[in-house]
Structure 1
């Protein structure tokens, strides 16, 4: 025991002294250097059996406690990692075997008393434990559950309450089910009704970000979904039995940045036609082939129209049932352009946007948004943010007509209001994301924004930008949510747009004017990149889940040592708060480009006029590297994380999460939360840490620390919210009023998708989640579709 104590003190002392000295040189806290020197002195005294060694350690432990409280207050997680190992060493030093003189008990007893180190160790442990009920960065509160309006259908009143005909149930993107059978009182009775496997599994040749993010549709007794490799499937909504499958043979392409499909789109009658059979699983006997259609975007940049009843391609659409979306593209590198999200179906048109690979090549395909006739596939209009006035349809067979290279794209999900005649698209950035010198004035206007396009002509009616001259990959990632708000000025058509920065913009969807305050504030300036400029001001919203700026004291780790290493990394990086420009030095970007909100968006209850979402907090590091500094072996296009060379540019970019040497985030948890807000008042009701480290740690410990996630929530009229998404393999139900977990079950793979709810043929409410994992966040891969219902 004596030797073990010495070894621990020497190792920690050397690490803290050397690292602490460097941290002090960088302008950081002197406490680590001081601690290292104290530990080495205690080790020397312990080696020589000096009484003062125990008193010195006890005094240092007391100083550590006071310093920790001064830095972080009475909060468990930051206290536990500062005090944990030092307390254990203190308890070790109090053991008789450690304090025994060389002659043993008979010869001279112990060289020092136990009570100084034992007392300070127990005091430190007690203080840390008292911080358990005081979670850091949480908001306690309750969401008002009063029904504000009973009529909140926005023109979708023809949709039966048990159907789900678009990605967010309707093209309004609310992720809201009007079903009320499942309530906070009975949600604990949910059990698996059926579970199937699609057979589409991640393979050894797949890219790293192969993910299963699909949200099924439910129409006429069938569920429609897609899989990561672009298969379309129809399942019996009662049993999960497969009714048809369509494989477009989209192949594998190493240059794809994402291998995923978030969903398909539907066009047709929402009410079952007279010829339809209503028995479970019978599907629809359409009066004519392709009377109802499923639109499938594929990873090889095609759009298929499939007969909803049979899955066969609609011969009257495009060429043999498909459109080649690379038409009129200025560049056509394989894997550089494709749609990862379902198209918007509004009236007689299907509107398609697409993803353009970030940071692969200055000369990339266009981010054009195009509307096609739902029957013939004829191009009706095209809106290119790099050339926004040229909305008259290009001739797909004319190679001289090309869209703008690399223009800002809309890779997420769009929404539509057919009564106003508008489609709303969240816009990304022009590639390369971190280099702003390649952009024209139109691209500057429309990047990182939401734009309202005229359904008839494609012309932009209004735009609201969330980041000026975006150098951070702060795309608008989330589907805009449409609802009507009852405000002092009367019922107002609103659009709710979550952003990666954590801002929630609540706007009048007629003209983009703010319904809750929007302002601008100064942003950090200066760049070490020739030709690069930085916008002097940046927008912000009054309703926001934006985190506070990071401080050195926010650095975290499992011990003092890796916490110190995170502090060193923090001091080595450039960081001046939100919108710190990317640099060759390496810049800390917080919130990072993973986003406080991402494509999962938020769920909105249109009757209570409230929202529920999953704010996530992860810092990223962005480093621009001159091409001369990139060794040939380093050059790689590896997705959004890692080193991307950026063909045609003078710099490459390296992006990665800000992690400690043991692979956990350097900032103090929680890293993932659930939260709710009242959209009429613009006030946050609560915010709670979400998820456990069970699937992140070597030991399966279900410790609720609040972990990151990606995926979307579902709200039901019964007052229950559902969410998978977190990086533990769990599916949870929450009390919408309080955010408390009511139901928590394990699922066989990562649940990084958005759930949905519908009625089966018996009139029973079902909840469905796809569980297949996410390659980038490292959750378990799978191919599961799981349906739950209340125990009969």
Structure 2
């Protein structure tokens, strides 16, 4: 047993010492090299059967404890990997089969065994510190949002009945706020499943990785309308979940699609057609093969008076049209007799991709009314037949919002492909990439633009629907970004309400490219501080050391480190602090609730001559090798993970947070979610996990959110962020929930179908909850 132990200590010492010296040469911590020497010295003394081995190892434990507290304080989730293996081995040294052979004999033959007290005290001290750290959360920010009802009769946008949900964010303003108040912090614990429906659309073996359920249903009177990843449109009875009709768009399969999803349908009631007649009310379904289909809301039949027998083909006007490279994943908006739609363009596939043009069509006939192409922004009259839009101009794949009173539609814009290469971009592309643009609803003309990243080399699309509300009487817009900034703007002009500053940005782009000297940042930001070596993490000290080495090898100069051939660390990563789930606001209290997520990514440029040929059966993905056909470099991207597949940066990776939109003050940030579905064992440890999806707020003082990578729907006290209730979901809940009334009851509903790129369990569930009857 003693020899075996000595061999284990030798191997650990060699591994830690060798890798630790490598880390030192990279400018990292000396601890691992010193700890490796400590293990080797302990091993040598064990081979010699010297009792001093216990004392040396006790010193190593004490030194490790002091170093760990100095690096990370009393954060258990960071202390554990630093000391876990070391403490377990300390306990091992204390067992009699290992300890008893140690010592020396006197000249008279008497055996003197070493005292185990120093080692025992060191182990006990470490366990006490660990126990104390488990009761602490130094990264938690506790506080309360103001409860004052600032606006007695806030503008919610549109004329949606209180118990309905007519658009993706409930109203044209995208607030994700419901005036329903039957469910409160006092009774939310009584929520129970009211009904459950399965769509029948499940993930298929031939699907691309990011096949996801991201849909938020609409509720109009007594009916819910949803879509599924493979473009089924379904109508359900809102009170019972009973299916009314189902339509299959037959959008087929294509391995070149990066996304296979549908975030929602759009609803329209035609005032020119008497109620009850065919197609008097319609839902419009966007599809993965670039179509927009008009359906009769009453029965799911195609409304053939729209466009070409009910179908509008969005590839019209594109110079290049590779199948699978362009489609619409988000519901269009309908206003002023127009249906306004953008489209998703595959990231980093080719320089010969479809245009990112935004188009307004007649909602009844499908005739083109105007087109705004960010590559040719000054001409919005309908494109003449035979001409084409600007190839590969910045696109908008997310959700729009609009203000009828101001006659403006607000567009969150992305970047030009390739996202990581900025050479040869036009003046217009440089102006409009990664921005929020306000377009005139009547003509499509630009009224203002607010850019959130200059010369974007990081795929920092504006991913989220802009949220509209009045703040202290000013018509405002809140624009969440991947970087974690919240742009709070006067939505009439785009001027800041909460200040925006320009700060110096890192340099060091590849020779063919350049970086912007400064980048904007809002005074209301959830952007994390820069990463350091001490922020590296792992399940054990070994993979933590590997992460520290990889961190030191990557190019990293903080936020906006440019991509490089040797590999750069991008933090916040292009997964986004905020993504398409956006935030929710309470327009009465003028506060927000959101789910900032923190995951570092790596980005490595690959010269064209080093990119291997495309393999047969290769599927579209935003992670791994992106080929950038037609560009001098491809790019390899993905989350910054340890050898064990967990994030290299220390948790928390996900929070819930609340902020006062009048002052820009962040009131609270709490870890959100557990590792229950991230580990082989179902452990309910509240680490704070990543997520993608969005929250809602109700007048009852609650926020509801699924999104996290454990399969739960949760309710929170809006004022404090305290979690009050959770329900286990049968699949990943990476969609934004909604709430409505039916049969006199308030329901909360979520679609649970999983998310491919975050690895949650797939499914096809629509689940509605209501208060259990007394």
TM-score where L is the length of structure 2: 0.97
Equivalent pair of 2:103/2:112 in contact (CA under 8 Å): no
Cα RMSD, aligned residues only: 1.8
The residue number in structure 2 matching 1:518 is: 500
**Secondary structure in structure 1 of the residue aligned to 2:515:** coil
The residue number in structure 2 matching 1:555 is: 536
The residue number in structure 2 matching 1:282 is: none
Q: CA deviation at 1:552?
A: 0.6
The residue number in structure 1 matching 2:171 is: 170
Equivalent pair of 2:349/2:628 in contact (CA under 8 Å): yes
The residue number in structure 1 matching 2:208 is: 207
Structure 2 unaligned residues grouped into runs of 5+: none
The residue number in structure 1 matching 2:470 is: 484
| 1:788 matched to 2:769 | yes
**Alignment match of 1:459 (pick from 421, 427, 445):** 445
| 1:728 matched to 2:685 | no
User: What per-residue deviation string (whole Å, max 9, x for no partner) do you get for residues 287-346 of structure 1?
Assistant: 321111101100000001111111111111001111000000111000110000000111
The residue number in structure 2 matching 1:239 is: 240
Q: CA deviation at 1:7?
A: 4.1
The residue number in structure 2 matching 1:248 is: 249
User: What per-residue deviation string (whole Å, max 9, x for no partner) do you get for residues 59-92 of structure 1?
Assistant: 1111111111111112211111111111111111
User: What per-residue deviation string (whole Å, max 9, x for no partner) do you get for residues 654-690 of structure 1?
Assistant: 0010000000001110000000001011100000000
| 1:62 matched to 2:89 | no
Q: CA deviation at 1:554?
A: 0.6
Equivalent pair of 1:101/1:108 in contact (CA under 8 Å): no
The residue number in structure 2 matching 1:278 is: none
1: CA distance between counterparts of 2:310 and 2:197?
28
**Alignment match of 1:469 (pick from 455, 471, 482):** 455
Equivalent pair of 2:584/2:697 in contact (CA under 8 Å): yes
User: What per-residue deviation string (whole Å, max 9, x for no partner) do you get for residues 708-733 of structure 1?
Assistant: 00000010100010000000011110
2: CA distance between counterparts of 1:634 and 1:52?
59
2: CA distance between counterparts of 1:155 and 1:335?
35
The residue number in structure 1 matching 2:683 is: 701
Number of equivalenced pairs:
770
Q: CA deviation at 1:630?
A: 2.2
- Equivalent positions of 1:15-414 (< 5 A) are 15-101=15-101, 111-156=113-158, 158-268=159-269, 286-395=275-384, 398-399=385-386, 401-414=387-400
**Alignment match of 1:419 (pick from 378, 388, 405):** 405
Q: CA deviation at 1:128?
A: 2.4
1: CA distance between counterparts of 2:110 and 2:249?
84
1: CA distance between counterparts of 2:69 and 2:700?
43
**Secondary structure in structure 2 of the residue aligned to 1:632:** coil
Equivalent pair of 1:95/1:114 in contact (CA under 8 Å): no
1:590 to 1:108, Cα distance in 2 relative to 1, 3 A: farther
Deviates more, 1:1-10 or 1:762-771: 1-10
Equivalent pair of 1:520/1:537 in contact (CA under 8 Å): yes
1: CA distance between counterparts of 2:338 and 2:114?
84
Q: CA deviation at 1:205?
A: 0.8
1: CA distance between counterparts of 2:588 and 2:145?
13
Deviates more, 1:91-100 or 1:209-218: 91-100
**Secondary structure in structure 1 of the residue aligned to 2:302:** coil
Q: CA deviation at 1:776?
A: 0.4
1:292 to 1:121, Cα distance in 2 relative to 1, 3 A: same
**Secondary structure in structure 1 of the residue aligned to 2:6:** helix
**Alignment match of 2:551 (pick from 547, 570, 575):** 570
1:187 to 1:413, Cα distance in 2 relative to 1, 3 A: same
Structure 1 unaligned residues grouped into runs of 5+: 276-285
- Equivalent positions of 1:392-791 (< 5 A) are 392-395=381-384, 398-399=385-386, 401-486=387-472, 491-527=473-509, 529-632=510-613, 638-760=620-742, 762-791=743-772
Q: CA deviation at 1:751?
A: 0.1
**Secondary structure in structure 1 of the residue aligned to 2:134:** coil
1: CA distance between counterparts of 2:431 and 2:103?
81
1:483 to 1:102, Cα distance in 2 relative to 1, 3 A: closer
